[in-house]
Structures are given as structure tokens and as C-alpha cells.
Amino acid sequence: MPEISKPYRILVAAFGHEANRLNPRLADEELFVLERGQDILRAPAGVLKGLTETLVKAGVTIEPVFSASGGAGGLVDHHFYLRMREELLDAVRRIKPDAIGLELHGAMGTTETPDAEGDLLQALRRLVGPTVPIGVGLDLHGHITPRMLDNSDICIACKENPHSDFVECGQKVAELLIEQLEGRLRPVTISARVPMILPGAGETGSGPLAEIHAKAREYAAMHSSIKDISIYNVFRFTDDDEIGQVVTILSNGPSADTPSIAVDLATRFWIERERFKDDLLTVDEVFELVRSSPDKRPFVIGDMGDRTAAGAPGDGTILLSAALDGYLGLRGAVPITDPVAAARAIEAGVGAAVTLSVGAGFTPGFTPRLVTGLVEYVSDGNFIVEGPVGNGAPSAMGPTAVLRVDRRIQVLLTTKPADTTDPAAFTSQNVVLGDLDFIVAKSGFHFVLNFAGLATPVLVNTPGVGYYRKHQFEFRKAHFWPEHDIASPEITARQHSA
């Protein structure tokens, strides 16, 4: 725990959203979980939890402003973004803090800019000047721009995907902020970027990413001036200049070694690029697996194309239709975002039989499905995340109805794109996981951790805007491998001045 010599006041806020520009549903205030003032300290989660708890333990006075969490979804309504930015700037003007600590995502695009975090940090820096430290904890799926790094002192990411270490990331931001305030840290950040995305193999615990992270830890252990190495795997649905894998190194004072280390780590991505591939099953292969492996049930099926966890709308019906038409007898739970169908089912009430067209309200090219079923449960759709990823965070599916179709499939009709990476999304709606053969989660990574011990994870190759496929989506600004032919990128180090 860092010692403090003065009674510091640090302003804290969280503003997070992962913006998938291919999702036509705008992320406006209604889709955010928003808390203000002291409320954000009642039961904080993730980076905010690590940040605030560490500051309090050190004896720092916290000035909480707001926590606005949009999860993942479409582009953020720029007017909403501007209102939140102004609220934050107003708080800074009023409070005049000694430092600012933020939880941001790193891939919050709005309808006007793909780099909202850069805009926000620049506005804060212009207001407070160069002497007030600004510390930020991010998701490693950020689109990290020079503007973000130039306008913050401490800008670091979590290190694990699935993200089991957000709290540790927040703790580190707090510790580094205190060290800087005390004059024991003079943060200097170096970055190196390689113009490529990861078409697959995005987990940090295995494959090439595990090797690159191990090398980063080795470098950090060898150089005492290195305080953090963050490795960003850019969110694949951002369209901006200079997207890519970014390595940042934060050192105490300038270091002669960090530029070459950053370039070496970034170059490893390029060398290993062909290994970043996923092994996905087809829809039929997945259901055959469920049918032929009773001892492994229930399965939890990661619906890669329609991942709400990657900002897709969550309105896909392919898995529902496959289960209803082709795999008679299998019992399962399938979430579908459909505000209209959810409202109709809620209006009909528990016990009513309804026939509804469900799904496909947002994603271009999706097909709705007509279903008849019994309304089994209705609720406001609020729950608290119980698994390690996002533990303790409030999650809002909006008004939700559970419709039992064919007496064996429970369709969760949600108003908002539900975060179904966590079992509580289902159990909070009276769904009993142990009674099922399969559960559909609109997630590619985090559900594996949050369903551990409860269900066998498997990934399915489904269409939709939640999974990158070469040449399927239009990129106007971004130039990257494998979308574009890049022979041999020049990878250089860049120093950022806060």
C-alpha cells in the first residue's frame, strides 16, 4: 500500500461502452446503467472497485462523480456522450481534485467519433493542465489512440481475457496515481502498434497471446523502471485510422530500453499472425455434440455471430430455429433481444399462451421466427453478475419475459441486449440450468469463466455482426491485416507526453 504524505482528494468516474458500429441500435442513455455520486461506491465492480478501495485504504478522499456502464452495443448517441462529458468537466471545475482516476473501456465510439476516450481525456487535460495526474484503467480490447496516451499520465489495461483482473487493474491505477502525487513516479509511456487484428485465438491463457504476455512479464521483471506493460487487442468493429494491436510500456522516467521492448512485443504479433485463428463448430455440429454427450450437459453455447458481449444486437434466431426444428427433445434456454415481443408477452401475463414473431429486429439479414408458447415468468430484467468476470456489477436486460415453447425451450425475450455471459442472467428469470441440455450465451470468452462448473462451453459459428469475417464488413478508414494485404509493416516506438 503506497504511503501518502498529504490529504489528497481524487475525483473518480467510470464511463464504459464497447461500440460496435455495425449494430444499428444506438446506445443512448436508456441502454446505460447509470449511477451518480456516493451511489457508485456502494457496490462498485471491476476497475472502479479496485481503484476506489485502494484509494480509501491509502487514506485518500474520494470524490465520486458517476458510473455509466453501457456494456457493449451500437455506437453511443453523441449527444448523450457530450452531456456526460460536460457533467464530468463540471465536477472537475467544482471539486478541483488533486488527481483524476477513471474506468474507461477504450473502444467507446459515438455517432460522431470513433475515439470518445481520446476526446474525453483531451477535454480533461485542457481543463486541469499538465500538473493534475490523470489515471485510466481500460479493457484490453480498447482502440488505443495517441490522443488517449498523450492526454493521460497513467493509461493501462487489464491483462486477462476472459477479464478476471479488472479489480487488479483498478488497484494498480490507484497505486500509480498515489506514487505520482507523492513525486515517486514520473510516468513516461511508450507505444508500438502493428496494423492487424486478431481473427481468433483472443484468450490470454493459451496460444500466441499467452506467449506474448509471458514475454512481457519477463521484460518487466528484468527492468525495474518498467511499471506496466499493457497489450491491447483492438476491438474489431471499430473503423478508425491506425487501428491495430498496441503495446504500451509505462516506465518511471524515460528509459533507453522500453522503445525496443515495445517494438519487439508488437513484432511478435506480426510474426505469429497466422496462429490467431478460432476453431468454431457449425450449428449442426454443436447440436450433434449436445445430443451425443449427455454426460457433459448442460452445454453453454457461445453464439459468436450474435454476441451482445461484442456489441451485436442479440436478436439472432438461428440457434432457436435449429433447436425447434432439428433437435426434438433437447431442452434449452435461448435469449433473444426483442422489445416488441417482450412487451407483448408481459402484457399477456404469466400463464398466457401467445404466438409471437421473435428476433431479427435489428441485425440486417436476420430472419424472425414465429413461436407459440406459454409466458412463464416476467420481470424488470435486472440482475447482479455472480461469476468472476464483472462480479457484483448490476446488469439490466430491461423488461423481460420467459416464454416456454414446445414445452422444452425457454426463450428469454429481453428489451435491451442482454449480457448473458453470466448464469445469473438466466437464474434471475427462474430458469433452472440443471434441467437443461443447452444454454445459449451471446458471448465468446467471458461466459467460459462465469459458467465454469455449471455447463460445458462450446463456440458456434453463427452469422451476425459480433464476429469478424474477412471482407464481410466495410472499413472506410481502417487498414489492417487480414482485411488488407500488408507485406511487412514498419513497427516503430512512439513516446507520449502527458
Measured from each CB, the residue nearest to Zn ion is: 141
Mention every residue, 6+ apart, whose C-beta is less than 8 A from residue 90: none
Query: Of the two residues 312 and 341, which places its CB atom closer to Zn ion in the complex?
Result: 312
Shortest Å distance, C-beta 245 to Zn ion: 14
Q: Is there a contact between 417 and 395 (Cβ–Cβ < 8 Å)?
A: no
Shortest Å distance, C-beta 106 to Zn ion: 8
Binding status of residue 419 toward Zn ion by CB under 5 A: no
Query: Of the two residues 25 and 105, which places its CB atom closer to Zn ion in the complex?
Result: 105
The cell numbers describing 301, all together, are 453455447
What is the rounded CA–CA span in Å between residue 16 and residue 76?
Answer: 10
Shortest Å distance, C-beta 419 to Zn ion: 12
Q: Is there a contact between 369 and 357 (Cβ–Cβ < 8 Å)?
A: yes
Amino acid at 114: P
What is the rounded CA–CA span in Å between residue 348 and residue 366?
Answer: 26
Task: State phi, psi for 439 to the nearest 5 degrees.
Answer: -130, 135
Which stretch in 75-83, 106-114, 134-142, 306-314 sits in contact with Zn ion by CB under 5 A? 134-142
Which stretch in 77-85, 117-125, 132-140, 420-428 sits in contact with Zn ion by CB under 5 A? 132-140
Query: Of the two residues 248 and 400, which places its CB atom closer to Zn ion in the complex?
Result: 248
Spatial CA neighbour of 270 closest among 239, 248, 249, 245:
245
Query: Of the two residues 235 and 480, which places its CB atom closer to Zn ion in the complex?
Result: 235
What is the rounded CA–CA span in Å between residue 70 and residue 72?
Answer: 6
Binding status of residue 165 toward Zn ion by CB under 5 A: no
Q: Which helix (H) or strand (E) holds 193?
A: strand 187-194
Binding status of residue 446 toward Zn ion by CB under 5 A: no
Shortest Å distance, C-beta 38 to Zn ion: 28
Give the x-and-dash track for 211-230 against Zn ion (CB under 5 A).
Answer: --------------------
Query: Of the two residues 268 and 446, which places its CB atom closer to Zn ion in the complex?
Result: 446
Which stretch in 139-147, 180-188, 341-349, 417-425 sits in contact with Zn ion by CB under 5 A? 139-147
The cell numbers describing 208, all together, are 500466441
CB neighbourhood size of 217 (10 A):
11
What is the rounded CA–CA span in Å between residue 147 and residue 246?
Answer: 14
Shortest Å distance, C-beta 445 to Zn ion: 8
Query: Of the two residues 359 and 390, which places its CB atom closer to Zn ion in the complex?
Result: 390
Shortest Å distance, C-beta 395 to Zn ion: 15
Q: Is there a contact between 11 and 65 (Cβ–Cβ < 8 Å)?
A: yes
The cell numbers describing 169, all together, are 487493474
Site for Zn ion in 357-386 (CB under 5 A): none
Binding status of residue 153 toward Zn ion by CB under 5 A: no
Which stretch in 83-91, 141-149, 289-297, 308-316 sits in contact with Zn ion by CB under 5 A? 141-149
Query: Of the two residues 194 and 310, which places its CB atom closer to Zn ion in the complex?
Result: 310
Which stretch in 115-123, 137-145, 176-184, 211-219 sits in contact with Zn ion by CB under 5 A? 137-145
> How large is the C-alpha radius of gyration of the chain?
23
Question: Following DSSP, what letter does each residue of 349-408 receive, concatenated?
Answer: -TT-EEEEEES-SSSTT---EEEEEEEEEEE--EEE--SSTTTT-EEE--SEEEEEETTT
Which stretch in 133-141, 164-172, 365-373, 448-456 sits in contact with Zn ion by CB under 5 A? 133-141
Query: Of the two residues 191 and 204, which places its CB atom closer to Zn ion in the complex?
Result: 204
Shortest Å distance, C-beta 140 to Zn ion: 6
Spatial CA neighbour of 352 closest among 398, 404, 399:
404
Binding status of residue 119 toward Zn ion by CB under 5 A: no
Q: How many residues bind Zn ion (CB under 5 A)?
A: 2
Question: Following DSSP, what letter does each residue of 50-76 receive, concatenated?
Answer: HHHHHHHHHTPEEEEEEEEEEEEESPB
What is the rounded CA–CA span in Å between residue 79 and residue 62?
Answer: 28
The residue within the footprint of Zn ion, chosen from 49, 141, 268, 369 (CB under 5 A), is: 141
What is the rounded CA–CA span in Å between residue 301 and residue 439?
Answer: 6
What is the rounded CA–CA span in Å between residue 197 and residue 240?
Answer: 13
Which stretch in 140-148, 184-192, 314-322, 330-338 sits in contact with Zn ion by CB under 5 A? 140-148
Which stretch in 136-144, 281-289, 360-368, 489-497 sits in contact with Zn ion by CB under 5 A? 136-144
Q: Which residue has 460496435 as its cell numbers?
A: 20
Shortest Å distance, C-beta 393 to Zn ion: 14
Query: Of the two residues 269 and 438, which places its CB atom closer to Zn ion in the complex?
Result: 269
Binding status of residue 139 toward Zn ion by CB under 5 A: yes
Q: Is there a contact between 101 and 48 (Cβ–Cβ < 8 Å)?
A: no
Shortest Å distance, C-beta 46 to Zn ion: 11
Q: Which residues bind Zn ion (CB under 5 A)?
A: 139, 141
